[in-house]
Structure 1
């Protein structure tokens, strides 16, 4: 998959795609339906047009963290779905200030040379969100690209949405989140240096930051881990603690992952960690031995939860 960060100056090979357009936070089953419709809409390479940062981050920069995926995780998921061209456009004052007509002409038509554009029924675009999916149909008719509006995808009367996924994760309902996403919720990113307490306790962990991401329920999880970079590109089972480490008086939330049956240096490597089963809430223990005993019990619980995963 090729990733582009601008809509101007693209080579001919990067133009003329059939585009699915939206934010695609979480890449849930509703998003996948839009992507599948774009795939079927035209005899052209499959592309996704999205924005970085998320428009909500641009308009409310001090707001609470809400994203299900960082840009890296989203790109990895889209690549797995067979997307050939990813247009991750910088959402700035310039892009936010384009009228719907200017966006359609400058970005979709002149810049990307879109063969076709597919959006969900609730899609809005352009300055002050004045453009609707129906607006896009008319603009496409004028400018020479086709448009498909896909009805919102639902199951049992409930629409798939990033908001519903966030709520499930907030409550620790990982399997409900998986049903809406169509895949396990994953936290992806670089392994950073921590306090190395896990190693001292006999349970070495890979530490990952949660900056800008929606926080699932704090606690301990059974996880599946893919090592994405470096010489040890393997898939492992593991146990992870998501929280603020109350035992040590720290309060910046991060993810600490212990990989079962793995030995190797993970610092600077990139991991993809799937939250499979919530095991227990975060807790503060009377002493270090009680914490060590609980970690061992958590590891056994995680192995049981992951049987067959």
Structure 2
């Protein structure tokens, strides 16, 4: 997959079948668009492309908003490449770009610079200044400018349209299975293993503290069954997101106990994939009660079908 941060860098012998949007999470709704792009590209000898924005435009419009994303940039690149996209355009949502009307965007960017021949948009997608670009505008301009346009229908699970917002809400509610269904893959968090207070090792449950990307959404506080990838191997794990109230902690931490594992992994990269929710964050009346709960969590994790 070729990646472009500047439209002027792009040139190709083949015209494009393209879709645009944030694609945060690259969930099953996005996957349906990607699959259609690949089908259209194959049938019409077109290269496929996604035009997305980085950073997220909401960081521009609402700089004080504490927005958390489902994907880091590296995760989004990985998923786009995995799903078979030929070209990924990462456009900075700067002042000039945000002032383009929908029609100016189509004429100046999609047609003049990218030479699109087929455009696919989501069921509720709008673009351009004041959201002036929509499917009706695209249908009108497509006839004049010589490209085809298609609007995808929403993808539903349990009679609900899939959206990035609904995935976020599921994760923030601890509903891991629902989030996995909408994404089409387990939600993951990656980071670097850092030194913590090392309390876990004193009670038989040494944990790896994970320093995560500040823009990455963390699921609801609590305990989770996770799949752990470290040193290119997979393990079962129990993960905690919270402040460790039993030992009067005051900092939010992400800590994972890796089953059947005893290696020094400080400063190593680690990825955890969320498989199920165990329980809310609990302040236990004693360390003995905490250990009893950890023993039960470990039993449930061992039994979980990975």
TM over 0.5: yes
Q: Following the alignment from structure 2 to structure 1, what is the Cα–Cα distance between the partners of residues 253 and 81?
A: 26
Q: CA separation in 2, counterparts of 1:273 and 1:39?
A: 30
Deviation at 1:101, TM superposition (A): 2.4
* CA-CA distance at 1:198 after TM superposition: 5.6
SS at match of 1:235: strand
Q: Does the residue aligned with 2:6 lie in a helix, a strand or coil?
A: coil
Instruction: For residue 178 of structure 1, report the CA deviation from its aligned partner.
Output: 1.4
Q: Counterpart in 1 of 2:46? A: 44
Distance 1:285 1:37 in 2: 51
What TM-score do the two structures reach when normalised by structure 2?
0.86
Range 67-76 or range 290-299, more displaced: 290-299
Distance 1:3-1:124 versus aligned 2 partners, 3 A rule: same
Give me the whole-angstrom Cα distance separating, in 1, the residues matched to 2:36 and 2:149.
Answer: 11
Partners of 1:252 and 1:8 lie apart in 2 by 45
SS in 1 for 2:25: coil
Q: Is the 8 A contact 1:206 1:266 kept in 2?
A: no
Match runs of 1:120-131 below 5 Å: 120-131=122-133
For the structure 1 residues 283 and 46, does the alpha-carbon distance in structure 2 shift closer, same or farther, using more than 3 Å as the test?
A: same
Q: Is the 8 A contact 2:211 2:254 kept in 1?
A: yes
Any idea what SS the aligned residue of 2:50 has? Answer: strand
1:205 aligns with 2:208: yes
Report matched runs for 1:1-309 at 5 Å: 1-12=1-12, 16-42=15-41, 43-187=45-189, 189-197=190-198, 200-201=201-202, 202=204, 203-209=206-212, 211-227=214-230, 232-288=231-287, 290-305=289-304, 307=305, 309=306
CA positional deviation for 1:247: 3.8
Q: CA deviation at 1:66?
A: 3.7
Shift of 1:274: 1.5
Classify 1:197/1:4 alpha carbon distance in 2 versus 1 (closer, same or farther; 3 Å). farther
SS in 2 for 1:122: coil
Normalised by the size of structure 1, how large is the TM-score? 0.86
The residue matched to 2:36 in structure 1 has which SS?
helix
Note the aligned Cα RMSD (angstroms). 2.5
Unpaired stretches in structure 2, ≥5 consecutive residues: none
**Deviates further, 243-252 or 100-109:** 243-252
Q: 1:17 to 1:292 in 2, by over 3 A?
A: farther
Pair 1:87–1:276, CA change in 2 (3 A): same
- CA shift for structure 1 position 223: 0.6
Query: Is the deviation greater in 285-294 or in 90-99?
Result: 285-294
- Mark the runs of 5 or more structure 1 residues left unpaired by the alignment: none
> CA contact under 8 A between 2:227 and 2:236: conserved in structure 1?
yes
Which has the larger displacement, 296-305 or 169-178?
Answer: 296-305
**CA distances 1:250-280 after superposition (whole Å, capped 9, x unpaired):** 4443422233334545445443321111011
Distance 2:112 2:256 in 1: 46
Q: 1:163-206 deviations in whole A, cap 9, x for unaligned?
A: 2222222221111111222211222x331524252664351314
Note if contact 2:195-2:266 (Cα within 8 Å) is conserved in structure 1.
no
**Structure of greater Rg:** 2
> Could you tell which deviates more after superposition, 204-213 or 26-35?
204-213
Distance in structure 2 (CA, Å) of the matches to 1:252 and 1:212: 17
